[in-house]
Structure 1
Amino acid sequence: MRERAGRLKSVDAVIVNGGVPRSGEIPMHLLPGQAVNLRTGTRCDVAQLEHVVAMAGLGIRRAFLPR
């Protein structure tokens, strides 16, 4: 969470990723659908892929790490 705990008093919904959601929380479910080639824009169903290399990065690292 990037917000202070007090912010929870003024939100419309809390979406959680992982763990067991508490009462009133909405669990996030990610389901792969299509893969997109970022160079060509070509799309295909992920079930068609045999070999996958994936990477992720943080654009603003300090926004995701504790201060």
Structure 2
Amino acid sequence: MTGIAVILNGRAHSADTDSLIEFLKTQGVDPARRFVAVAVNGVVVPREGWPGQRLAAGDQIEIVQPMKGG
């Protein structure tokens, strides 16, 4: 499945996969990295749920992680 229109951190984005974990990897998110939170449509997805979470057109995805420099 390719070309799913989603909203990533408030901006329109095209996902080339319907797998949340694969989508996160394309966004540079290391699934093993600590201190990363992901929500889909306002619901936090626990890390152990990332591999099974499927994306659909219009999903709103929020990725929150600490950044260097404050």
TM-score of the aligned structures, taking structure 1 as reference length = 0.20
Question: As a proportion of its length, which structure holds more strand?
Answer: 2
Greater length-normalized contact order (CA 8 Å, ≥ 6 residues apart): 2
Larger Rg: 1
